[in-house]
Amino acid sequence: MKYILTALLIFLPAIVFAQNIFKTKINDEKTGELLAGVNVFIKELNTGAVSDINGIALVRNIPNGAYEVRFTYIGYKPFEMSIKLPLENPGKIINVSLEPAAVEMNEVKVTSTRTSNRVEDTPIRVEVLGLDEVKEESGIKPGNISKLLGETSGVQIQQTSVTSGNMAFRIQGLPGGYTQLLKDGFPLYGGFSSGLSLLQIPPLDLQQVEVVEGSSSTLYGGGAIAGIVNLISRTPGEKPEWSVLLNQTQKGETDVSSFYSGRSGRLGVTFMASYSNQKAEDMNNDGFTDIPQFEQANFTPKLFYYFNGSASLMAGLTLSYDNRKGGDIYAINNSPDLLHSYVNKNKSSRTISVLKFKKEFSSGSSLTFKNSISSFNHDISVSRVFFSGKQISSFSELSCLINSLNNTLVLGLNFNTDVFMQKNNSPAFPLDYNYYTTGIFGMDNWDVSQKITLQTGLRFDYHNKYKSFFLPNLAVLYRFADNFYLRIGGGYGYKIPSAFTDLSEEQAYQNVCPVSSNVKPEKSAGANIDFNYHAVLSDEMNLSIDQSFFYTRVDNSLIPQPDSLALNKIFYVNSSAPLESKGINANLEFTLDDFGIFIDYTYTDAAFNYSSGVQHLLLTPLNKLNMTFTYETEDDWKSGIEAFYTGRQYLNNEEKSPGFWTIGVMVEKIFKHFSIVGNVENLFDVRQTKFESIVLPPYTSPAFKPVYAPLDGVVANAALKIKI
């Protein structure tokens, strides 16, 4: 342990205290919403700061004197004010309100890096969907976050089950189990509970979505081999907000959701409630559902208390319920009989409590304690086969952020527990487990010069079954100019073996063997290179280009033993060959006045490299292209056309699926207190069932082909957004 502490101590910088500190809180003039990522700059001193997620910016090391302070934020008009230091009240917070402008670009702060830096200042690559994008996607798919994540560069949404409609998200071509899903930094969507997570999280209460591509285990522990997706919730603003969203599709889905946020004095509150239901649909008349029947509800109240002295406490609760049926549509709409007996039923409930205390200091440093407890119950039945289980997991973390003149240091200690208890005794193989993990980590962001920022990180995890993991990482940001920079980074990751995979869930965990004690943890090493260029060509013209390259190698990958599959069992073993994923991602954004063009292309080559030859990873598109054209007039109209190309994917026996295009169109008319959204997805009704039959006989106990294309076809929806 002394070696670990010694390694962490090398990050500790010398703290340099300022002569004066200028502290300001910045919000939106119209909505009162706190603004993260605002540039605060003092020209006379060539120094400044950036506001954090609470709208707070601290400029330190200011000598006595009079200065002009300039506030700039893309999407808002610049603002200047005069100050004279020292202030009469040195601890006073100066409130500043910025007026929105017509042009908006993605310049925001990110919290997934644990430092709350601007995305432009982070040595690791972070893709961000901001509040405006979250709101737009909420009007298209308000029931869950699958559509929202599908819009993110480098992320592939894959349907893993024909009958339940379950989905997983893949980063850099790697299976969904290699990506860690977080909500406000809490990692409670893994193991048994990961299966339906994408379908059970509504987007209405989200502030932004952050995707870190590449190994992030140093920051967040096991399971983040491909990266992390962090869903950031909205917090109370200075002005109360209440919004209601009503949505209806032509295929029988109804969504109702509401979000409230308000603050009075030291107390603040947010509350989100949503309800969705969908009737079963058979699009190709083969007798089996292409859209499952489901009913789900979510409730998320949170209470905030703001102490004197820049301390805050947040306590929240999330309650969710999901009940879905898929399979033989006659059996679902009527009742099963001898000819129509196949029904896949999934009933689940989730309860999550969260607690967060944060103390901020005048130097810009902070101390944070977080705790969360999650209980997940899931019952699965397929015809006469039944499986039921309960997962209880917890996460506790104590961390401190230390700011100095050129360094930002994060030190932390966390403790995770994960317990699974099988409720029924019908399966031949019990899958119960009881895990805990203790972790200690440190990370330092060092501004070596105006051009170079160096990030070094180190984590040590101890697992009660799989013992020790030592995870270093290194990343460098080099600025060729203010608008052109390079990132190079790499790190190590790991994942604890688990029998709870998409394949096992599709089999309702029948004949799934527990993971053998001989199976080793999966370990990875990865690297990323990223070039980014951004230029303001004129007052109305902006250009952003991002080009990245990625490589990840996973050793001891968990795979089903082929011989066990032939015996209708699933027995997991370590692959004898490494899994390697490599490729490129190119992203272009161009805006001209009210028009915008966004193009994203990803090439992915993911395969097991056996000595006898290459075995490509199934259902990973070699080429993926997203193109979006938008037209927006402020507070009036929003419209867009989306075109997505999904390239050929490897299926069984090295066969490839056909490539295909899908087209979507969206229009939103904005009024003072409400807006109306009209949207059509998959305009030309592209469906896999047009290419082939995916249900294989016997139909009382069918098998299903892998899903590589949409099954639901064209989906039109109309949504009403009400803002009170």
Mind giving me the DSSP string for 529-574?
EEEEEEEEEETTEEEEEEEEEEEEEEES-EEE-HHHHHTT-B-EEE
Which residues are bridge partners to 365 per DSSP? none
pLDDT of 315-351, one tens digit each? Answer: 999 999 999 999 999 999 998 888 899 999 999 999 9
pTM confidence score:
0.83
Residue 5 has pLDDT above 70, yes or no: no
The predicted structure's pLDDT at residue 218 = 82
Residues in the chain: 724
Residue 105 has pLDDT above 70, yes or no: no
**pLDDT band, residue 662 (cuts 50/70/90):** very high
Higher pLDDT, 316 or 424: 316
Higher pLDDT, 59 or 19: 59
Give yes or no for a contact between 25 and 55, defined as CB atoms under 8 angstroms apart: yes
Side-chain half-sphere CA neighbours of 625 within 13 A: 11
Q: Which of 330, 280, 288 is nearest to 162 (CA)?
A: 288
How far is it, in rounded angstroms, from Cα 539 to Cα 463? 54
**pLDDT band, residue 427 (cuts 50/70/90):** low
Residue 556 gets the label, from left (phi > 0), alpha (psi -120 to 50) or beta, of: left
Q: Which of 89, 494, 63, 57 is nearest to 310 (CA)?
A: 57
Higher pLDDT, 109 or 668: 668
Q: What is the SS3 assignment for 645-694?
A: EECCCECHHHCECCCEEEEEEEEEEECCCEEEEEEEECCCCCCHHHHCCC
- Structural domains in the chain plus CATH codes: 2-98 (2.60.40.1120), 231-723 (2.40.170.20)
The predicted structure's pLDDT at residue 16 = 38
Give yes or no for a contact between 282 and 288, defined as CB atoms under 8 angstroms apart: yes
Residue 7 has pLDDT above 50, yes or no: no
Which residue pairs from 327-331 have beta carbons closer than 8 angstroms and sit at least 24 positions apart in sequence?
327/163, 327/288, 327/289, 327/382, 328/287, 328/288, 328/699, 329/280, 329/282, 329/287, 329/288, 329/289, 330/287
**pLDDT band, residue 103 (cuts 50/70/90):** very low
What does the pLDDT average to over 611-621? 89
Q: Which of 655, 670, 663 is nearest to 705 (CA)?
A: 655
Residue 75 has pLDDT above 80, yes or no: no
CA angle 254/259/262 to nearest 5° reads 170
In single-letter form, the type of residue at position 647 comes to: G
Q: Which of 206, 182, 173 is nearest to 583 (CA)?
A: 173
Task: List C-alpha distances in Å: 66 to 22, 62, 683, 707.
Answer: 12, 10, 60, 65
How far is it, in rounded angstroms, from Cα 412 to Cα 399? 4
The predicted structure's pLDDT at residue 425 = 62
The predicted structure's pLDDT at residue 8 = 40
What does the pLDDT average to over 675-697? 94
Give yes or no for a contact between 406 and 447, defined as CB atoms under 8 angstroms apart: yes
How far is it, in rounded angstroms, from Cα 28 to Cα 74? 12
How far is it, in rounded angstroms, from Cα 328 to Cα 324? 13
The predicted structure's pLDDT at residue 600 = 95
The predicted structure's pLDDT at residue 89 = 82
Tokens of 520: 């080793």
User: Looking at 15-29, 41-55, 111-125, which range is the least confident one?
Assistant: 15-29
The predicted structure's pLDDT at residue 12 = 39
What does the pLDDT average to over 214-231? 87
pLDDT of 557-573, one tens digit each? Answer: 999 998 888 788 899 99
**pLDDT band, residue 575 (cuts 50/70/90):** very high
What does the pLDDT average to over 343-372? 93
Across the chain, what does the average pLDDT equal? Answer: 89
Higher pLDDT, 218 or 356: 356
Residue 426 has pLDDT above 60, yes or no: no
The predicted structure's pLDDT at residue 553 = 96
Which residues are bridge partners to 522 per DSSP? 495
What does the pLDDT average to over 278-283? 95
How far is it, in rounded angstroms, from Cα 40 to Cα 278? 48
Residue 30 has pLDDT above 70, yes or no: yes
Higher pLDDT, 425 or 44: 44
CA dihedral (151, 174, 196, 623) positive or negative:
positive
Residue 587 has pLDDT above 70, yes or no: yes
User: Looking at 20-29, 73-82, 260-269, 299-308, which range is the least confident one?
Assistant: 73-82
**pLDDT band, residue 18 (cuts 50/70/90):** very low
Tokens of 299: 């409730």
What does the pLDDT average to over 190-200? 80
How far is it, in rounded angstroms, from Cα 150 to Cα 155? 6
**pLDDT band, residue 3 (cuts 50/70/90):** very low
How far is it, in rounded angstroms, from Cα 633 to Cα 668? 11
The predicted structure's pLDDT at residue 198 = 77
How far is it, in rounded angstroms, from Cα 294 to Cα 140? 18
Residue 17 has pLDDT above 50, yes or no: no
Higher pLDDT, 151 or 399: 399
What does the pLDDT average to over 349-358? 96
> What percent of the chain shows pLDDT beyond 70?
96
In single-letter form, the type of residue at position 474 comes to: L
